[in-house]
Amino acid sequence: MAKNKSSEGRGPTQRQLRVAETIRRALSDVLARGDVHDPELNRMSITVGEVRTSNDLKVATAYVLPLGGIGQDDVLELLERNKYELRKLVAKKLTLKFSPELRFQLDRTFDQMDETRRMLAQDVVRRDADAPDAADDGTVET
Give the chain's mean pLDDT: 83
How far is residue 67's CA from residue 65's CA, in Å, rounded to a whole number? 6
Q: Is pLDDT at 39 greater than 60 in this prediction?
A: yes
Q: Range of 19's domain?
A: 12-131
Q: What is the pLDDT of residues 43-82, one digit of tens each?
A: 999 999 999 999 999 999 999 999 877 888 899 999 999 9
Sign of CA dihedral 60, 51, 18, 112: negative
CA-nearest of 27, 118, 106, 119 to 70 is 106
Angle, vertex CA 34, rays to CA 15 and CA 91, nearest 5: 30
- Indicate whether 142 belongs to any domain: no
How far is residue 100's CA from residue 61's CA, in Å, rounded to a whole number? 9
- Indicate whether 95 belongs to any domain: yes
- Indicate whether 17 belongs to any domain: yes
- Indicate whether 56 belongs to any domain: yes
**Beta carbons of 72 and 106 less than 8 angstroms apart:** yes
- Band of pLDDT at residue 95, cut at 50, 70 and 90: confident
Percent of the chain clearing pLDDT 70 (strictly above): 75
Mean pLDDT of 22-44: 94
- Indicate whether 102 belongs to any domain: yes
How far is residue 65's CA from residue 109's CA, in Å, rounded to a whole number? 10
- Indicate whether 82 belongs to any domain: yes
Q: What pLDDT shows up at residue 141?
A: 55
For the domain that residue 122 is a member of, what is the CATH number?
3.30.300.20
Structural domains in the chain (count): 1
Least confident segment among 1-5, 22-26, 103-107, 118-122: 1-5
Q: What pLDDT shows up at residue 134?
A: 43
**Beta carbons of 35 and 89 less than 8 angstroms apart:** yes
- Indicate whether 49 belongs to any domain: yes
Start-to-end Cα distance in the chain: 55
- Indicate whether 103 belongs to any domain: yes
Angle, vertex CA 132, rays to CA 130 and CA 134, nearest 5: 150
